[in-house]
Amino acid sequence: MRTALITGASRGIGRAVALSLAASGFGLTVSSRRDEDLVELAAELRAAGAPRVAHRASDLTDLDSLPPLAEAHERAFGAMSVLVLNAGMAAKGAVDTFPLRRFERTLTVNLTSQFVLTAAALPLLRRGAAADPEHGARVVAVSSLTGRYAEPGLAAYAASKAALTSFVETLNLDEAASGVTASAILPGYVDTDMTAGLEGVAAETMIRVGDVVTVVDMLVRLSRHASITAIPVSRSLSGGYRA
Ligand SMILES: NC(=O)c1ccc[n+]([C@@H]2O[C@H](COP(=O)([O-])OP(=O)(O)OC[C@H]3O[C@@H](n4cnc5c(N)ncnc54)[C@H](OP(=O)(O)O)[C@@H]3O)[C@@H](O)[C@H]2O)c1
């Protein structure tokens, strides 16, 4: 059985990715901040086809909660095929008035926690790769197009996501020999809770959650011999170089 750990699985992109991997027969560990959301989600994932579902609440601002999340997956499955680094937070504001604490929180949630969780999961991913020589194991990070092409007011968020993309690219280089590949998806604006009420971009022009799911599905189907480090996905009306 292939298995995946998905953060930010309660809503939006993470939830849709979890449902899709469940339908593909993955054993799943899902996480977000509230246990009650995860209990309900776990039942839905089982109904959607996941042979086994583990869940553990974890807040990405609490870095000590992340190794136990990887351990929960290890207890349930012993190894990991796919790590989906999806949970993240939005942050908008001018540089000169952006509170330092908020900047640090943005970096902790969108970057440091991803590094810490990946480090904790790597032994499991290497084990998963050894057990599945065709697919190997793969880290998929939901980064952002704003980390590549600047978007007004998003200096903190974009910097955190640019660093996340860079982290994934080096991880891919470092781990390829162990069969672990890593990919960052860089979406522009996607129609989720995160973009609700965003001024200037109509929801109906946004990328659909299902589009991001399709990219994740493609990545997890690749063999270990193919690596795609970064996949930009822009809104069709943005011209390709804006979120
Ligand atoms: N929507 C977009 O336009 C867009 C574009 C590019 C990239 N992205 C990225 O895509 C990812 C998913 O976003 P989304 O649009 O699906 O947003 P969403 O619908 O708001 O969902 C965010 C998810 O992240 C979790 N999360 C947020 N803060 C957390 C924290 N401190 N600790 C643990 N979990 C936390 C939430 O869990 P709770 O239920 O606990 O809140 C939720 O499951 C994010 O990394 C985001 O930056 C989004």
What SS3 state is found at 211? Answer: helix
- Among all chains, which residue has been given the structure tokens 């000590």? 64
CB atoms within 10 A of CB 212: 23
* 157 catalytically annotated: yes
The pLDDT value recorded for residue 142 is 99
213-232 pLDDT, tens digit each: 999 999 999 999 999 999 99
CB atoms within 10 A of CB 164: 25
Q: What is the mean pLDDT of the chain?
A: 98
For ligand 1, atom 8, the nearest C-alpha belongs to 144
Q: Hey, CA dihedral for 139, 19, 233, 117, is it positive or negative?
A: negative
Task: Name residues contacting ligand 1 (CB within 6 A).
Answer: 8, 10-14, 32-34, 37, 59-61, 86-89, 109, 142, 144, 187, 189-190, 192-195
CB atoms within 10 A of CB 56: 20
For ligand 1, atom 40, the nearest C-alpha belongs to 33
Could you give the domains of the chain? 3-238 (3.40.50.720)
Query: Quick one: angle between helices 35-48 and 12-23, nearest 10?
Result: 30
90-135 pLDDT, tens digit each: 999 999 999 999 999 999 999 999 999 999 999 999 999 999 999 9
What is the rounded CA–CA span in Å between residue 141 and residue 85?
4
The pLDDT value recorded for residue 90 is 97
Residues 6+ apart with CB under 8 A from 170: none
Residues 6+ apart with CB under 8 A from 216: 17, 20, 21, 84, 140, 185
The pLDDT value recorded for residue 165 is 98
The pLDDT value recorded for residue 233 is 98
142-177 pLDDT, tens digit each: 999 999 999 999 999 999 999 999 999 999 999 999
Rounded to a whole number of angstroms, the distance between the first and last alpha carbons of the chain is: 36
For ligand 1, atom 1, the nearest C-alpha belongs to 190
